[in-house]
Amino acid sequence: MDTNTFETLIAEGKTIEPHDPMPEDFRRSVLRQIAQHAHSEIIGMQPEGNWISRAPSLYRKAILIAKVQDEAGHGLYLYGAAESLGMDQGEMLERLHSGQQKYSTIFNYPMLTWADVAVMGWMGDGAAIVNQVPLSRCSYGPYARAMARICKEESFHQRQGYDAMRVLANGTEEQRNMAQDAVNRWWQPSLMLFGPPDTDSPNTARSMAWGIKRHTNDELRQRFIDLCVPQAEALGLTIPDEELIWDAERGHYNSGPLDWDEFWANVNGAGPCTRERLARRVAAHEDGRWVREAAAAYEHQIENGALV
């Protein structure tokens, strides 16, 4: 393999394309990240999909349906990008179902009220945008290009979430309390979307050297906190962190510690809703078996010239 070509492309800030030579570790690392990202999109459809029939108005329902459909689309672009690295979607799904590949911990928390749907859009998708915009400059071309389109849609998701929060925050006392309760429960999971602290992130250094990631987990988490705190203030809601304070010298907010034991338990398969999410995913896959079989039979007939 001509590693020079790979090293040169990386050094010149050019993208690596599927036909370019690449070290096996690079291929495996990009595939790992894209697969976990794709799985997050499709598992993420579940908690919000559960609220479609309970959305408070036709307007909110139409938006939520569009958002959940967007997530299915994001999953498909990402599976497509991952397939270009040599693993097909069927195998990735098997690995998801058996727990070998991960999805984001944020989707393992229950969505108890309508305010949770709103806060997931505002904070969850807000965090996703901060994480994903730099990925549109990722060194692996198909991933970077998928990200450009995904980020446009994520930005709509964040705005609709903020808008739904604004309505609750300016509503009745009960609605305000519901909004605050949701912020209290989702702040920490949203910050954990950025991954473990840099000191406990085994993949960051190499992924940064190869341009797969452009910023560390802590850098992006800080960026999100700095963006989100003034938004919460504009809504009149309180961020549940007593140590949160503006540090004029650093030009950033200082914040308190997160419960990393809870995070790692969640990553390792013991999140509050992990079992439910995976069981639902496996059941949906089984329900779709006849469609996959029919499509394969049709393709087989085309290949054999039985259908013209």
Q: Report how far Cα 32 is from the mean position of its chain's Cα atoms.
A: 14
Q: Which residues 57-76 are close enough to bind ligand 3HC by CB under 6 A?
A: 71
Of 35-43, 159-167, 170-178, 297-305, the segment contacting ligand 3HC by CB under 6 A is: 35-43
Amino acid at 157: H
Segment (H or E) for 253: strand 252-254
Binding of ligand 3HC at residue 33 (CB under 6 A)? yes
Q: What is the largest CA-CA distance in the chain?
A: 73
- The end-to-end CA distance of the chain, in Å, is 43
Residues in the chain: 308
**What tokens were used for 3?**
């590693």
Q: Residue 86 and residue 28: Cα distance in Å, rounded?
A: 10
- Asked whether 220 and 130 are in contact (CB, 8 A), the reply is yes
- CB-nearer residue toward ligand 3HC: 13 or 202: 202
Distance in Å, CB of 68 to ligand 3HC, minimum: 10
Binding of ligand 3HC at residue 202 (CB under 6 A)? yes
Q: Map residues 234-273 to x or -, x wherever contact with ligand 3HC holds by CB under 6 A.
A: ---------------------------------x------
Q: Map residues 146-165 to x or -, x wherever contact with ligand 3HC holds by CB under 6 A.
A: --------------------
Q: Map residues 40-59 to x or -, x wherever contact with ligand 3HC holds by CB under 6 A.
A: xx--x---------------
- CB-nearer residue toward ligand 3HC: 152 or 300: 152
Q: Which residues contact 50 (CB under 8 A, 6 or more apart)?
A: 111
Binding of ligand 3HC at residue 217 (CB under 6 A)? yes
- CB-nearer residue toward ligand 3HC: 130 or 179: 130
- CB-nearer residue toward ligand 3HC: 44 or 142: 44
Going by their DSSP bridges, the two strands 245-247 and 252-254 should be labelled as antiparallel
Q: Which residues contact 198 (CB under 8 A, 6 or more apart)?
A: 204, 216, 217, 218
In our burial notation (b when 16+ CB lie closer than 10 A, e otherwise), range 149-165 reads ebbebbeebbebbbebb
Q: Residue 281 and residue 283: Cα distance in Å, rounded?
A: 5
Q: Which residues 78-137 are close enough to bind ligand 3HC by CB under 6 A?
A: 102, 104-105, 124-125, 128, 131-132
Using CB under 6 A, which of 92, 118, 193, 278 touches ligand 3HC?
193
Q: For binding to ligand 3HC (CB under 6 A), which residues are involved?
A: 32-33, 36-37, 40-41, 44, 71, 102, 104-105, 124-125, 128, 131-132, 192-196, 201-204, 207, 213, 217, 267
